[in-house]
Homo-oligomer: A and B are copies of this chain.
Amino acid sequence: MTDNGILIIFSGPSGSGKGTVLSKVLQNRNDVKLSVSMTTREKRSGEIDGVHYYYVTRDYFEKKISDNKMLEYAEYADNLYGTPKDPVDEMLKEGLAVILEIEVQGAEKIRNLYPDAVSIFLAPPSTAILEERLRGRNTEDDETVNHRLVIAREEIRRAVEYDYLVINDTVDNAVDRIETIINAERLKINRNKKILSEVINNV
């Protein structure tokens, strides 16, 4: 369809529902793939290695960094998170929309490396609802939740650096909005120069 794939930076605070929304988008679309991140944090129950993250040791992660094989990485709550470069570039060459689910600080780095990247910020309808969701999870103690809320507010303030804002009022709405963004981005002129020259040259 388009000349090249689309790199999509996808961020949102903890508790915004990124995982649920993304898994539905991936179910709906063959042309959208998720870049699997690498992390040194421990696997949570229900998570699968190679699906949610590649769970690696700090030594392994640091070797990837020094080999220049990480697009971005960041330390967050004493753990490293990052994006391996090669699989992303391969998927883009195939014309896929590749979603990077990354932290706000990582997003900035990606934008510099891929100026055509499209960035989407997923936000809860309100920070009050975010708090409810975080407490409802029951996986963290009060102190951790409070800490996450402070970080979440800081992250939401940086949403202005993104191209699009998607409010996660319902999962279906959020999924629909993300698909709409991808469909529209496929129509951007800079992704259709080959098609445009075909239109002109078929005289």
Contact = CB atoms under 8 A, between A and B. Distances in A.
Interface string A167-188: 1000000000100110111011
A166 B183 CA distance: 12
Contact of A199 (B123, B164, B185): B123
A188 B177 CA distance: 11
A87 interface: no
Given A180-B187, A187-B181, A189-B121, A199 B126 contact: yes
A37 to B, nearest CB: 24
Interface residues of A, number: 36
Contact of A160 (B153, B166, B193, B198): B193
19 contacts: A124-B199, A126-B198, A126-B199, A153-B203, A156-B196, A159-B189, A159-B196, A160-B189, A160-B196, A162-B189, A163-B189, A165-B188, A165-B189, A165-B192, A165-B195, A167-B199, A180-B180, A181-B184, A184-B184
Question: Which 10 pairs of residues, A with B, have the shortest CB-CB distance?
Answer: A184-B184, A126-B202, A165-B192, A164-B187, A180-B183, A181-B184, A165-B189, A180-B184, A127-B203, A123-B199
